[in-house]
Amino acid sequence: MNKTLIDLPAFGDERGILVSLEAQKSIPFEVKRVYYICKVKEDKPRGFHAHRNLQQLMVCVSGGCDLVLDNGITKQTLRLDDPTKGLVLEGVIWREMHNFTSDCVMLVMSSHHYDENDYIRNYDDFLKEIKK
Ligand code: T46
């Protein structure tokens, strides 16, 4: 599975923590787009898609959620709830986000602009596509 949990450069002192993200340094690709997910409903999962050609770095800067990652062979669940850890995803991975805390803010940096044609939003289509 093409996923890596990375330690983000974090500068903590008695005032708190500052996390600095620099494209092509702490972020292993050129960032073309940034978005964030916030004001979530705890009982409303998100995702349920894969990307054909996209690298993303995901960080829960507040709160957390469970990420279910599936490459068609193995399925893994990990809790993302630490603002100093980022999850880098690349390759065709089915992703679901569950069990959000109400204060969750997920920041995502992407290697490409938004393109709905890059999404596989049907699980059977995803399985067909990875077998190609
Ligand atoms: C992902 C997970 C982690 C845009 O217009 N521009 C954008 O850059 C994005 C990301 C979304 N949208 C529109 C498309 C939909 O009408 O925003 C709406 C909600 O998007 P979606 O239902 O895809 O949101 P999530 O939370 O299910 O998935 C998002 C990203 O789309 C996806 O790339 O990996 O977060």
pLDDT in tens, 40-50: 999 999 999 99
Distance 43 CA to ligand 1 centre (A): 18
Distance 116 CA to ligand 1 centre (A): 9
The predicted model scores a pTM of 0.96
**Ligand 1: which of 46, 61, 68, 126 to mutate, most ligand atoms within 8 Å of CB?**
46
Among the residues of the chain, which ranges form H helices?
123-131
* 112 given a catalytic annotation: no
pLDDT in tens, 74-128: 999 999 999 999 999 999 999 999 999 999 999 999 999 999 999 999 999 999 9
Residue 11 C-alpha to ligand 1 middle, in angstroms?
30
Question: Which residues share a beta bridge with 36?
Answer: 107
Task: Look at ligand 1, atom 30, and give the residue with the nearest C-alpha.
Answer: 47
**Tally of CA atoms within 13 A in the half-sphere of 90 that contains its CB:** 9
Task: Decide whether any atom of ligand 1 lies within 6 Å of the 47 Cβ.
Answer: yes
Do the strands 119-120 and 65-70 form a parallel or antiparallel pair, or are they unpaired?
A: unpaired
